[in-house]
Structures are given as structure tokens and as C-alpha cells.
Amino acid sequence: MISGLVQILLFQSLGELVSKFALPTLPGPVIGLVLLIIWLVLRKGINSDLAMVADGFSQYLGLLFVPAAVGVVLFLPQLKANALAIVSALVASVILTIATTAIVVRFLSAKPESTES
């Protein structure tokens, strides 16, 4: 189990280093996760220690939403006062996201035209 935790912390640290010195616009944990995925693909598998730690973490992911819920309750008066603006921004962003995704999918799935001479 310690080995799995060390692996996760190692890749997060590597991600932080890459973020600090090479890619400052990307968060270190995201870079570390990508590096971990690449490493696991190259190894063609997950060892049991890493799987045990990952399962343990995933059981408690719901706790990460508690601070967000507390923030919503704390700022409820401000949310109510700006409800129309918030709902409008959410609806517009969802519509723009769906439209952008559709355009990208259409562009990427377009079949190349065959040129016959």
C-alpha cells in the first residue's frame, strides 16, 4: 500500500515540477495524472498496491464536494440576488459548449475527399 501511495505522490510531484519549469499554464496534478497514465500504458497494467490506494481514494471522492456545498449555502443571498445572471451564463455556456463540441466532432470526423484523375 505504501508503494502505491508513493507512486501517486511521485507522479504528482513530477507534474508540479513540469508545471513550475516547463508548462506554467497547466496545473501540476493534471500533468502528473497524464504522466501516470502514460507510465501505466507503457507498463501495460496496474500493480496491486496502486490499485488498492486508488480504490481507497475513490471511495472518498464525495467528500471533495462538501466545501463547494458549504460555499453555496454561505453565499446563498448573493446567489439569489444574481440568479438571473448566473442562470443566463450557465445556459449560454452549455449551449456554446455543445455547439463547439459539435463543430469539432464534425471537423474531426469529416472524411477526406478522394481525388480521382
Mean of the per-residue pLDDT values of the chain: 87
User: Per-residue confidence at 115, pLDDT binned at 50, 70, 90?
Assistant: low
- Render pLDDT for 23-44 as a digit per residue (tens, 0 to 9): 888 888 889 989 988 998 888 8
Cα torsion through 37, 41, 44, 50, rounded to 10: -10
- What residues does each domain of the chain span? 1-59, 64-117
**Residue 62 CB contacts under 8 Å (≥ 6 apart), including other chains:** none
SS (H, E, C) 40-106: HHHHCCCCHHHHHHHHHHHHCHHHHHHHHHHHHHHCHHHHHHCHHHHHHHHHHHHHHHHHHHHHHHH
- Render pLDDT for 54-108 as a digit per residue (tens, 0 to 9): 888 888 888 877 888 888 888 899 989 999 999 999 999 999 999 999 999 998 8
